[in-house]
Structure 1
Amino acid sequence: MRWWEAGRVLAALASAGGAAVAAASGCGAVDGYDCDEYLACEVINADGSSNGGCEGTCVPTEIYGFRSGVYLVGRKAGLDDPGCADALLRTEGLDLEERKEMSPPPHGDFFVAPGAHPGCAPCACTAPACAFPAGLTVSSGWMCDDSPGVTLTPFDAPAGWDGSCVAPGAVGAEAFGSFRIAPVTARACEVVPSPVPRDGDAHAGGQAVVTCDASGGDKCPAPGHACVFGAAELRPGWRRCLLAEDKDVECPSSDRTAGLHFSEKLTFWKEVDDSRACTPCACTETAPSTCEALVSTFEDGACRDLVAAVVVAGNGGCHDAEPGSALGSLSAAWLVDAPGSCAPSGGELVGELSLSGQVTACCLPEGT
């Protein structure tokens, strides 16, 4: 607890304007007087020590091995975090500009050192497969003639055709002189995409720490001390700290800090360069596919009246129709269905993590 020292207040009032005013007034409630301007108001701690006019905490400003001054330190959750504008309880409920006006000035941002890289997801490949031809191109001429004046009619199988009977349309005898069959295809293996990218994150999920100037003036009775915000004025998660740029620094003993225990040691970094990443996945064929199909064409739409059956491999084929034939359906079956194989590669962790500009913070425990 703190209270106003009434005797000193009355003495100051008497010297400023008379005993009558002094007898009717108290520090902080003086009609017509500004307490900061006219009175030597003294804050007394519960242990009987004096803070002078400082209602926060008096801390030595120069401690060997540390930056001059005391700083508020809080974790910053994202790039748009207001930072120092959220340090004090008294700004709660105000808009951002009002919070900034009533908040301590910012000092700087530092990165929290990232943890271990999460590792690279294993690379995987789809299995290669044999695929039936995409369909036919019907020519009104012989030997798949496609010269000017010849009628070409597409007779396409559906995507992902499994060889079962299909009737893409009907081609009359006047337009059905020959047909070209597309080749069977050996579908290559492909990289299976990883559902969750697992590259490293240099800033530990975007987290950093923000530092603010905690000094509130020289209202402390002892020279060389600064009045800093009290623990009761800070929002949860904020601490009052000393900062040093020496990685081997030890937190100061309480006899160097006016009895205060800056005992919580935290480490931050000015620069984090994280080039760690996973090499891209790839698939390499280790054995080729062998695919060969028998494609049958029919006059009717139900694959009953055969026109021609043609063996097709990787080059496709051309076949003349019987004179007077029509085209109504087609089907296919595998003669050789021997997909090859492939092997995945990649998914290796490369690069490195580099941290520089270490900053050590020695802090009063949160809430003290």
Structure 2
Amino acid sequence: MRWWTAGRILAALVGLGAAAVVMASGCGAVDGYDCHEFLTCDIINEDGTNNGACYGTCVEVNSSDFEEQPFIVWMGPAPEQPSCEGVMLADGGSAGLREYERLVAEPDRAVRCGPCACTEPACVLPVGLTVTTGWMCDDGPGETVTPFRAPPAWDGACVAPGAVAPEAFGSFEIAPVTTRPCDVALAPVPRDGDLPGGGQSAVVCSGGSEPTLCPGKNTFCMPAASQLPPGSRRCVVSKMEGDYAMCPSDGGAPGRAFSERFTFWKVSEDERRCTPCACTEIAPSACEAIVSTFEDDACAHLVDAAAVAENGVCHAAEPGSALGSMRAEWRVNVPGSCVPSGGELAGELAIERRTLCCMPEEQ
């Protein structure tokens, strides 16, 4: 029978008379005991166990620096934090715990954002030609328009996107040279409000202590050390921010001493963020290409060659000529430059210190 179950059963036995309660609690029959006194037998052993309703250990909280109730606290690496509701006792029972607060080891107050970086600007060759049957790129009603496009990321090598017969080859427009602007290449991920993972943490769970099953003021019944799951301790938690709290004395009961001291922090607010990265052009690009057109599909028989920059250019075709391939090369290829900005840490971290005093694991 578990400590919290035993308390409920003994309470139910009150209606059966004092004798039944005495036998259930293990207390001796003493004249003058009322019902509550029967349920909280005042025989407490040196290790904190008693012969009454508390099936675990009776512990005393006798310091005004700490919360009035003791807690069950899990301590371990932050990525392994359990939920209080999922904490099971060693014998398979559930402690019925609820989360009180989550704490972390001292956070890194000097968090830095990674550097921002920019891609390099570049000159980009034309995407190809637009061929029309009309004179000087007339694409009005009655004219036939034939696209003659280069492959994506064209490097200027000879390409044959198709074939345009002489009757359809009246003129052609070369698409303009373009520039690829610099862009953000590397940006620090904005903080999501969590402190860096991997450090030690504590999950403080309430509901693991019962104030009515042990005699004495400020005395609580808690699971015994042997009942707790790995990583869990019985602790008291300081009420306020600060490092002032000292662990309470054991009151002459070494088996119930909150003697091991730990310091954690509660994050009340973390607004730290990395400002967005940006790239600013400080020198423009200068780009101009020579585009050559050919009758055959191997760039052997030249039709025409023209210089083209940011505005594109239209050329009339030689009478009777056809279009089978094209090639391009740079006449001017001077990419500009830019500088990154941003990636600065902004916002504040607000934390509160918590002192935990815990019973040794073996007790």
* Unpaired runs of at least 5, structure 1: 1-15, 18-31, 92-98
Contact 2:294–2:326, Cα closer than 8 Å, also in 1: yes
Contact 1:299–1:307, Cα closer than 8 Å, also in 2: yes
Equivalent of residue 275 in structure 1, options 271, 276, 279:
271
Partners of 1:212 and 1:115 in 2: how far apart?
24
Equivalent of residue 178 in structure 2, options 185, 188, 199:
185
Change (3 A) 1:231 1:173: same
Q: Deviations over 1:32-86 (max 9, x none)?
A: 99952575499885x6997343443222244333222322112486799441441
CA shift for structure 1 position 270: 5.6
Partners of 2:83 and 2:326 in 1: how far apart?
69
Contact 2:42–2:215, Cα closer than 8 Å, also in 1: no
Counterpart in the other structure of 2:101: 109
Paired residues for 1:235-314 under 5 Å: 235-246=229-240, 247=242, 248-255=244-251, 260-268=256-264, 272-314=268-310
Counterpart in the other structure of 2:68: 68
Greater shift, 33-42 or 329-338, is seen at 33-42
Percent pairwise identity: 49
- 3-state SS of the aligned residue for 1:143? helix
Residues 1:211 and 2:210 aligned together: no
Greater shift, 303-312 or 223-232, is seen at 223-232
TM-score, with length taken from structure 2: 0.79
Partners of 2:284 and 2:97 in 1: how far apart?
68
Contact 1:114–1:202, Cα closer than 8 Å, also in 2: no
Partners of 1:113 and 1:345 in 2: how far apart?
33
Q: Deviations over 1:202-232 (max 9, x none)?
A: 3554965132233245554656533322111
Contact 1:183–1:316, Cα closer than 8 Å, also in 2: yes
CA shift for structure 1 position 290: 0.8
Q: Size of the alignment, in residue pairs?
A: 327
Partners of 1:249 and 1:80 in 2: how far apart?
25
Change (3 A) 1:308 1:276: same
Letter of the 2:279 partner, please give it. C
Greater shift, 239-248 or 287-296, is seen at 239-248
Partners of 1:80 and 1:237 in 2: how far apart?
10
Residues 1:345 and 2:341 aligned together: yes
Change (3 A) 1:69 1:274: closer
Contact 1:60–1:257, Cα closer than 8 Å, also in 2: no
Counterpart in the other structure of 1:360: 355
Counterpart in the other structure of 1:88: 89
Partners of 2:116 and 2:47 in 1: how far apart?
69
Please provide the CA RMSD for this pair: 3.2
* Unpaired runs of at least 5, structure 2: 1-17, 29-40
- 3-state SS of the aligned residue for 1:115? coil
Counterpart in the other structure of 2:225: 231
CA shift for structure 1 position 278: 0.9
CA shift for structure 1 position 293: 0.9
Greater shift, 328-337 or 246-255, is seen at 246-255
Paired residues for 1:156-175 under 5 Å: 156-175=149-168
Contact 1:42–1:50, Cα closer than 8 Å, also in 2: no
Partners of 1:347 and 1:223 in 2: how far apart?
56
Partners of 2:106 and 2:295 in 1: how far apart?
70
